[in-house]
Every structure is written in C-alpha cells, then in structure tokens.
Amino acid sequence: MRLAMKSAAFALVITLMAGCTGKNSRNEIDHQVEALLSKMTLHEKIGQMTQYSYGGEKDSIPREVIEQVEKGEIGSFLNIHEVGVSNKLQSLAVNNSRLHIPLLIARDVIHGFRTMFPVPLGQAASWNTLLVQKAARISAIEASAEGIRWTFAPMLDVAHDPRWGRIAESCGEDPYLISKLGVAMIRGYQSDNLADSTALAACGKHFVGYGAAEQGIDYNTTWIPEVLLRDLYLVPFREGVKNGLATIMSAFNDLNGIPASGNPFTLRQVLRKEWNFDGVVVSDYTAMLEMINHGYCTDEKEVAYKAIMAGVDMEMVSTTYSKYLEELVKEKKVPEKRIDDAVRRILKLKFKLGLFRNAYTAPGRNKVDLQPDFLATAQELATQSLVLLKNENHALPLNRNIRSIAVIGPLADSPADLMGCNVADGQAKDSRTPLFALRQSCEPSVRINYAQGLKTSRSKETTGFSEALDAARRSDVVVLFLGEEAILSGEARSRAFLDLPGAQEDLVREVAKAGKPMVFVIMAGRPLVFNTITPLAQSVIYSFHPGIMGGPAIADILLGKSVPSGKLPVSFPRTVGQVPIYYNHMNTGRPPTEQSKDIPTGTALDPVGYTAYQLDVSYTPEYPFGYGLSYTTFSYGDLKLSSQTLMKSDSLVITTSLANTGVFDGTEIAQLYIRDIAASVTQPVKELKGFQRLNLKRGQKVTVRFVLYPEDLAMHNDKMQWVTEPGKFFVWIGGSSDSGLKGEFEYR
C-alpha cells in the first residue's frame, strides 16, 4: 500500500514525471532531469552527492538526520535494511524537502539478502551464468522488499592472491570468467527494467586494481602497468559497462601512486571518455577521506577538490563534499558544471529506478524471504559450486552398504560459517548444516556419529580429539569438515599463511589412527594449502562457503544423489611461497620444464637447466584453474578447425567430440583457451575464451562447438591501441587449463 503524499508541490512533480520509467527514451529522462536540476540550489545539488550511513529504527532517527533530509542535504542512505525505516525517510524527503527528491537506499547485497547463496568465489565454481543470474534476481527481490534499490555488487576485481581476504567476494583469477559471471549478476540485480520495483541498481567494484594489492594485504598499494591494467584488470568492468551496469565504485587502493577515488585517468579518461559511461560513480566507505592517509591530499578540502575533479559523483559516509564543495565553487577552483554533471547522473538513476513515480515500498512485500523456490535455487547453486578435487578408488559417492558415518570437525554443524563473509542480513538460524542434512538424508538404519573435534577452525585446544577418534572407530567411514570459519575471509581478513588454521591438521592425523576411509569437505573463502594431509583422504571436496543450503547440497553429493560438476575459478597453490600463481601468466625466456625439479646441473658459465622455477616446490599449482573431477569420466577427441586461417572479417569454428565414458550421468564444463604465439607485447601462455556446461547421460557422445572472432584475439599494443595482430595462435579445448586437445591457426 502506497503511503500518502501530503505535499501538493510533490504531486505537481509527480504529474510532471508521470510515466517516466526505465524504458522511457534517454531524451525524455534527460528532459525531466534538466527541469529539476535548473530548480536546485548549489547546496541542494551537493546534498544529492552525499550518502549517509544509518541503520537504526524508524522511531529513533536522530533529529539532525531528519533535518538534513528535509533540507535536501542527503541524497542516499547506506545500511538501511528495514522497510519501515526506508519509508519513513522517503516520506521526509518527498513530503518535507523543498524539491521533494526521493532518496536512494543502498545496502551490501553481495551473495544474498535473507536467502544466502555461496560466496561469489563459490558461485564462480559453478561456471553457470544463468544460475548465478537467478541468484542475483532472488537477492534483488528480497532486498527491494525492504526498500533497498541499490546494491554494492558485483565485485569485478581480478584476484591473483589467495592471501587477500576479499578473494571470497571475487569470481576468481580470469577476466573472461569474471566478465561472464559479473554480467549475469548485473542482469539479475537490475532485471530487464530498472523501474521494476524489484530491481536493484548494480555497482561494479572496486575500480580499479584492488585485487592486485601487494602481499595480498587489504587496502594495500597496487602497481599495474597500463597494458596489464587494460588487458586484465579493466576487462570485467568494461564488459559490465557494455551490458548496462548502472553504477561503479572507486576503490580503496592507490594505483601507481594515485588513489582510485582521486584518479582522473581511470575515472575520467577511461570510464567517461573512452567507455562513455554515464552512470553514477560512488566512493567506497570513507575512501575519499583516506586519500589523506595515502599522502595524496593534505586536508579534507583537498580531498573534495581532487575527488570531484577526478570524477567521483557521490561520497560514501565521509563528508568532505558537504563541507567544502560550495566553498570550492565560490573560489572558482571547481566549476559548478562538475557538480551539475554529477547530480545529473544521480537524478537520472533515481528516475530510471522509478523513484519519482513511487519512492515507497509496500510493507507487506517483506513476506518474500526464504520462499521454497529461493531455497531450491540456493541448494542447486551450492551443489554446482562444489569441486571434487580427489576421489581415489571411487570412494565417493558413499557406498549404500555403509551403516555408520563419523561426522567430525568444527565446520560440520556451524550454521553461521556456512554463509561465509559479507553477510549483512542473512541469519544463522536459516542455515541447514551438513550434520543436519546427513541426519535428514541418510536411511534410518545409518548411524551418524558426530564429534566436533575442535570448537572453531582456529582452535588449538585438543581436548575434543579423543571423542573424535572414538567416533571414527565406531564408524564405517569418516567425513571431516575442515577449512576456515567465515570471519577469516572477507574485508580486512588477509592471511600470511594459507594452511588450515588451528589444530585441524593434528585432528586429521589423530582421526586417521582409526584406520577408516576418510573424506575431507573443506569450506573456505579462499584457496587453502592442505597437501600434507591430502594423502590421508580418499576423497576431497572443496565447497568454499556454500550458503544456507550448503548442508543439503553436500549431503546429496556425498550420498550420490547429485554428481559433482564444479570447476575451480582460481588456481590453488602448493604452498604460500608460490603466491601469486595463476594460469594466464606470461612466459619467460627460460620457461620451466618437467625436468625443472631439482638443483640444476649447470653453472653460471654453462647454465644447463637454468629455468624459471623454485628449487623446493614444483612450478605447477596444486590444482589448476578450471580443474574439477566428477563421479563419471569424460573423454575429448577429434579436434577440428573450420580453417587453418582466420581472416579479418570472418570467424573460426572449433569443434571436438565429448563423451561420457563413466557409469554416472554427469555435467562437464568444456573450456576453450588460446595463445598468441608472438605479438608486439608478450601475451599469456593461455587465455580462456569460452566455456560450456554440458549435461551428458552415461555413454552419451556430443559435439562441442566454439566460435572465435578476430576481436577475441585482440590486445593492447605498446601504444595502448586495441588491435588484433596477424600471426599464429594455439587453441585448446579441454576440461581444465592444464589439459586439452591442441590445434593451431593463423590470423591474417
């Protein structure tokens, strides 16, 4: 039910804006924006550029906040998560402010609102764009029911360092995969029409290079050559902009010495001039103010000056714009046109969202949370995010003759940890843990022997070991739930080591004394290193943090009701000393070989065996990008290219046969990679250029078909020109980045 609009003046504005929705022409919206902008004072314009954080109750809104809203000094609110508060503040804005401009209510809706899905890194392991889009759509439906119309997602950062806690929010290490999944999330959040009352404006973050923080330490410095910036880190953002991304967030980090919130090259040159992005740019939480700590600004006034001149439209939480922009304009240091441009974009977004038509949310809409089909989607996505890393002697699925299962570990029955990091509105009580799910799913004749072993993943207290060993001895098989709890990943959760925290490895070794077959299920927000205990397990499943339906998803995989299909979206190192390690690296003049395993036999005078490797560890990852096993097996064969030459205005078709050669129906994710053999700027040894999820019945054989176009081969040369250079290329189709059938063609 729409709340009453008391102001006659506001009714006049509504009449003027009637019918203005996200589907109206750009000219129509522009006309309405200009009409409103012409009536605004400089003070009111700056108010639109201010985002205030308030997460309290509707009946206790501070008087100063009420006054600011009524004076038009706040354009957006962060952290509101309840429809009553949202409607109360909207009422103050549309009824009591001079121009009756509605507010933009924002919230971190990262991987779910109430229905929590796997963390984004886990979603990426599904390689399923349609399912990821569906999850984002559900998140938008639930969040918008509380008055939220703007989310700070998806995160489009390329992440090469698993020590970085925010890798959990990323979709991994590859710009192509991130782009595809990021666009899927954008479409899910924004729907087909931003004016749909269930749509959220998406926000691509963090612009740009945040995932390249030195040492994997959050907020740290980034140094990225321009060609790498353009061909790697900017790629997912460019694709997001091409696909209608509504807003972008400037990052915390400095980039090549210039903080992202004051960086005219990235914000004005690339984003505005080259990409013609006309959406809103918002700073990250106090990121503008932090330019003082960076040593880029001397005081808050300089912060406001450099941010507006660089291209930040809205300031999140900090208040340098509201304090100093009027003064800077009066001093003629900042042209008022810069203010107008920013406000124009903010107002345009509000019109596109339909907020001028109706700023309110019907209170009854909040009944949408946790609908059965939402939970089913959460379980399906959790299932597809599970990656089978090892399955020795077909230990999984568990044999139907098993009569007892030991469920052991600190994460077996930890509802909050299932949800992972960045959970603003999810509730632990909604989670269905693996222990709960196994008890529900197993036959009544199967006994579940549960022992926590450790109180938390970080615990070093071993008093629970004896109970765990006893549970193992009384069982036919042991399922150990290991990893890191949710608070160890996410923002400001960088780690120097990637081992299982606490005494988990000791717990595994103790339980192994029972001599029973063991299965590891590892939950984490990042790749972990656990190869010292892997030999003790017959099977290893990596689940990331799988969301509230992670328990049933894991149980179904263990019991054979579902077949694993996930593939890794990021390389797993053998040791932290390999970091950063990623598949799409450049070659060296002395690349490693299979023989690069020991101290080279040569000398500096005769450098036999001098290659790019470390003496004490293999140069390969523990598990490569794109890797993941199934309960069945797949075979690729008969690679064919439609031509040995790709011409400028043509396309190249690459096909291969794919057969399910095992005893289960299953899903394979076929992956297409290329390599530019020689170019004016060195290129990666492999680059993902396509993938397909293919469901095959056992014994079924299909033809997999990919198409390459000249633009798929493009790169930035040393003059930063986007070009496709003539030359030879390798092409592979296979089940991971380190395998596949290989072909060759030439581009002319």
pLDDT at site 349: 98
* CA atoms of 305 and 250, how far apart (whole Å): 16
Does pLDDT of 341 surpass 70?
yes
**pLDDT band at residue 366 using 50, 70 and 90 as cut-offs:** low
State pLDDT tens for residues 489-514. 999 999 999 999 999 999 999 999 99
The hierarchical CATH code for the domain 634-747 is 2.60.40.10
Does pLDDT of 744 surpass 90?
yes
- Residues of each domain in the chain carrying CATH 3.20.20.300: 8-366
Does pLDDT of 325 surpass 90?
yes
**pLDDT band at residue 595 using 50, 70 and 90 as cut-offs:** confident
- Residues of each domain in the chain carrying CATH 3.40.50.1700: 378-559
CA nearest 132: which of 143, 120, 140? 120
- Residues of each domain in the chain carrying CATH 2.60.40.10: 634-747
In angstroms, the first-to-last Cα distance of the chain is 63
What share of the chain has pLDDT > 90, as a percent?
94
Q: How far is CA 33 from CA 13, 40, 86, 98, in A?
A: 11, 11, 23, 16
pLDDT at site 19: 39
State pLDDT tens for residues 711-739. 999 999 999 999 999 999 999 999 999 99
DSSP 202-267: -EEEEETTGGG-GGG-TT--B---HHHIIIIISHHHHHHHHTT--EEEE-SSEETTEEGGG-HIII
pLDDT at site 365: 65
Question: Do the Cβ atoms of 66 and 41 come closer than 8 Å?
Answer: no
Give catalytic residues, as residue numbers.
284
Phi-psi region of 544 (alpha: psi -120 to 50; beta: other; left: phi over 0): left
Amino acid at 61: I
* CA atoms of 187 and 189, how far apart (whole Å): 6
Mean pLDDT of the chain: 95
**pLDDT band at residue 425 using 50, 70 and 90 as cut-offs:** very high
State pLDDT tens for residues 3-49. 333 433 444 344 344 434 444 567 899 999 999 999 999 999 999 99
Does pLDDT of 144 surpass 70?
yes
State pLDDT tens for residues 608-652. 999 999 999 999 999 999 999 999 999 999 999 999 999 999 999
* CA atoms of 735 and 628, how far apart (whole Å): 8
Which one-letter DSSP state was computed for residue 46?
A: H
Average pLDDT of the residues in 240-247: 98
3-state secondary structure of 740: coil
Q: Which fold has domain 378-559?
A: Rossmann fold (3.40.50)
Question: Is the four-CA dihedral 350, 352, 358, 360 of positive or negative sign?
Answer: negative
State pLDDT tens for residues 691-715. 999 999 999 999 999 999 999 999 9
The hierarchical CATH code for the domain 8-366 is 3.20.20.300
Average pLDDT of the residues in 189-202: 97
pLDDT at site 14: 41
* CA atoms of 124 and 176, how far apart (whole Å): 12
